[in-house]
Amino acid sequence: MVNRIMDAMKIHNQVSGDEGLQELEKIAVSIEEKVYIAATSQSAYLREISLKMLAVENRSQNPMACIDP
């Protein structure tokens, strides 16, 4: 699942070099761990992972949406 999260993040975020990929992996691992710990079932886990990946996609398509007025 971490690899899927990383793939989604690579598509929607510009990263360069080994340092960028390592940072992306740390973020993906952190996201996956938090979702796993909070999940009450496998379906809840998969649903939350899907929502996180959609959020990454939406954030990259509309970067101003993340800024609070």
Task: Determine the pLDDT at residue 63.
Answer: 52
Please tell me the pTM assigned to this model.
Answer: 0.75
69 pLDDT higher than 60: no
The answer to whether residue 27 sits within a structural domain is yes
DSSP string, the chain: -HHHHHHHHHHHS---HHHHHHHHHHHHHHHHHHHHHH-SSHHHHHHHHHHHHHHHHHHHH-GGGGS--
Number of domains in the chain: 1
Task: Determine the pLDDT at residue 67.
Answer: 41
Domain that holds residue 46: 2-11+21-60
12-65 pLDDT, tens per residue?
777 778 888 899 899 999 999 999 999 999 999 999 999 988 888 787 666 554
Task: Determine the pLDDT at residue 64.
Answer: 52
